[in-house]
Copies of this chain bind each other. A is one copy, B any other.
């Protein structure tokens, strides 16, 4: 196996009232606020068909994460045993892709207002997908 490197450009960026990492809840259902997703002019046509009320999976690039971390104490609790990052939702991991289940509140051109979103202002957006009704969410 010889994995090669891949490159991507964000399809947009998050605008949020969360400005500091210490303000960001660990999960969206732990008090995260709403946020605006601003898509690039190039990516915006990919939003066609998305409406207020839709449920989406938002994939982000957690650009402030530590990428050399492979094992953590879950939720930063040193009383919990050291665990591989792939068995946790720690943002620190080799490829720090964030996965967020959000509801669409408003669509305005290339911008979506969504909630809840536990990602800091300025976080790049990698992809957006619809939530499927099955367990494949």
Interface residues of A (CB under 8 A from B): 1, 3-13, 27-29, 38, 40, 42-43, 45-50, 54, 56-57, 59, 61, 63, 70-71, 81-89, 93-95, 97, 99-101, 124, 126-130, 132, 134-137
CA distance A3 to B43 in the complex (A): 12
Partner of A29, one of B82, B85, B136: B136
Partner of A127, one of B3, B28, B71, B93: B93
Copies of this chain present? 2
CA distance A69 to B3 in the complex (A): 25
- Interchain Cβ contacts under 8 Å between A and B, 26 examples: A3-B12, A3-B124, A4-B9, A6-B8, A6-B9, A6-B61, A8-B94, A11-B86, A46-B70, A46-B87, A47-B87, A48-B87, A49-B88, A50-B86, A56-B86, A59-B59, A59-B95, A59-B99, A86-B128, A87-B130, A88-B130, A89-B130, A97-B126, A97-B127, A101-B136, A101-B137
